[in-house]
Amino acid sequence: MPAEDPALDVLFLPLDSGALAWPAPGATLFLRARAGVALNAVRRYRPVCEQSFRPWAGALERDGLAVSDANSGRFAQVLVLAPRQRDESRALLARAIAQAEAGGVVVACAPNKEGARSLEDDLARLAGPVHSLSKRHCRVCWTAPLGEGVDRALVEQWRALDAPRAIADGRFRSRPGLFAWDRVDAASALLAAELPAGLAGRAADLGAGWGYLSAELLARCPGITALDLYEAEARALALARENLADASVPLGFHWHDVAAGLPSAGYDVIVANPPFHQGRADDPDLGRAFIAAAAKALRPGGRFWLVANRHLAYEQALARGFASVRTVREQDGFKVIEAVKA
């Protein structure tokens, strides 16, 4: 969860200022909710929080808020922390309007550098004239009570913008908003090409995304006998289930924050293309947490195959957890590393 979250704070400006009034407790749906001081201050209204990213969902749960990765029903008020990807953002706004009651209100916020002006324009296209406020380099916009001014045809059109679809010549399915959603990530492809056919036994894929590396591991390494996929984004994990539906070995799908460690151990093989961004900044601590989790979860002699941006300093973390570490290949700004546990 971000150490500071200006968008979360600014989202509540219309309610804090009196421009909008809170509906009855339990009558607010909060899409892409994030925990923080601003949300805790209004917990008496019992917003129903939805968050598909496991670390942020966990933070909401620790604050005692009702949270799930999907909600249905209709609400008097729908709050939205808009994602950066445009199609995903439009689909989320359309869904917010669809889940708002007649006479309800949709309130949405985004940082200025992540499409706040476009967000306001999109909300106006769906719902008619909107109000807005700006503060802390963020913009919050909100509708009038929803009624005849809503473009219902456009709402239905935009709700489908982030729907799962075929990619990679039909081999996989993905959807907007996921990492490398419309292509095979170059780093993952480089790692897959280096996986030796002799990898065997019980395996895990850390940060599995929509399942590309897992599919390649099973295709290239016939000795793999079982595979667990760990992924923090529930929307990606659901697609991984689809993409590996024809696997011939037992699979486990875990909505899990790898940085917190793994709930299982005794793996013979672990593969990973760790995330390395926190917001817009490189954060090698995420990759180091993946390395530490892999080192604890592998059996003695187990093999860890990792791809990373070449400039990220993971070597010390690897040396702490593994007996031998070698760089297998460097190409196009990436490095593929094999590490063997003592």
Read off the CATH number of the domain in which 144 is found. Answer: 3.40.50.150
* DSSP label at residue 233: B
8 Å CB contact between 203 and 227 = yes
Note whether 233 and 296 are same-domain residues. yes
- For residue 1, being part of any structural domain is answered with no
Final residue in a domain of this structure, among 138, 159, 180: 159
The confidence score (pLDDT) of residue 178 equals 95
Residues 28 and 78 in one domain: yes
Q: Which amino acid is at 208?
A: A
User: Which residues span the domain enclosing 47?
Assistant: 6-159
**Predicted confidence band at 219 (pLDDT cuts at 50, 70, 90)?**
very high
List Cα–Cα distances, 215 to 125, 161, 184, 332, in angstroms. Answer: 41, 26, 12, 23
- Both 181 and 295 in a single domain? yes
Shared-domain flag, residues 124 and 66: yes
Q: What is the pLDDT of residue 66?
A: 87
* 229 and 193 both lie in a single domain: yes
The count of other CB atoms within 10 Å of the CB of residue 252 is 11
Reported as a single tens digit per residue, the pLDDT across 20-60 is: 999 999 999 999 999 999 999 999 999 999 999 999 999 99
Q: Confidence band (pLDDT; 50, 70, 90) for 275?
A: confident
Distance CA 29, CA 77 (A): 6
Q: In this structure, are 146 and 260 located in the same domain?
A: no
Residues 169 and 154 grouped into a single domain = no
CA distance 52 to 48: 13
* Assigned domain for 171 exists: yes
Report pLDDT for 330.
Answer: 96
Last residue of a domain, one of 96, 129, 159: 159
Find the mean pLDDT for residues 259-270: 96
pTM exceeds 0.85, yes or no? yes
Give the confidence band of 70 by pLDDT, cuts at 50, 70, 90.
Answer: confident
Which residues are CB-contacts of 20 (< 8 A; sequence separation ≥ 6)?
Answer: 14, 77, 105, 107, 142
What are the two backbone dihedrals, phi and then psi, of residue 164, each rounded to the nearest 5 degrees? -55, 145
pLDDT (average), residues 130-148: 96
Q: Decide which of 159, 186, 205 is a domain's last residue.
A: 159
Q: Is the pLDDT of residue 139 over 50?
A: yes
Q: What pLDDT is stored for residue 280 in this prediction? A: 38
Q: In this structure, are 135 and 200 located in the same domain?
A: no
Q: What is the largest CA-CA distance in the chain?
A: 68
Residue 181 included in any domain: yes
Q: Using 50, 70 and 90 to split pLDDT, how confident is the model at 3?
A: low
Of the chain, the end-to-end C-alpha distance in Å amounts to 34
Based on the domain organization, do 23 and 78 belong to the same domain? yes
pLDDT tier at 124, thresholds 50, 70, 90 = very high
What domain count does the chain have? 2
Alpha helix positions (H), 47-185:
54-62, 86-98, 116-127, 152-159
Assigned domain for 97 exists? yes
**138 plus 183 within the same structural domain:** no
Q: How confident is the model at residue 2 (pLDDT cuts 50, 70, 90)?
A: low
What mean pLDDT is predicted for residues 292-309?
97
- Check residue 1 and give its pLDDT: 55
Q: What is the pLDDT of residues 4-25, one digit of tens each?
A: 899 999 999 999 999 999 999 9
Decide: helix, strand or coil at residue 298.
strand
* Position 297 confidence tier, pLDDT thresholds 50, 70, 90: very high
pLDDT at residue 254, as a whole number: 98
Q: pLDDT by residue (tens digit) across 225-260? A: 999 999 999 999 999 999 999 999 999 999 999 999
Residues 6+ apart with CB under 8 A from 309: 187, 276, 282, 333, 334, 335
Q: Residue 306 pairs with which residues in a beta bridge?
A: 272, 337
Q: For residues 150 and 198, state if they share a domain.
A: no
| pLDDT of amino acid 281 | 40
| 169 occurs within a structural domain | yes
Phi–psi pair at 210, nearest 5 degrees = -90, 10
Cβ neighbours around 301 below 10 Å, total: 10
Pick from 128, 99, 98, 96: nearest CA to 109 = 96
Has residue 242 been placed in a domain?
A: yes
302 lies in some domain: yes
pLDDT of residue 68: 81
Position 309 in a domain: yes
If asked whether residues 109 and 225 sit together in one domain, one would say no
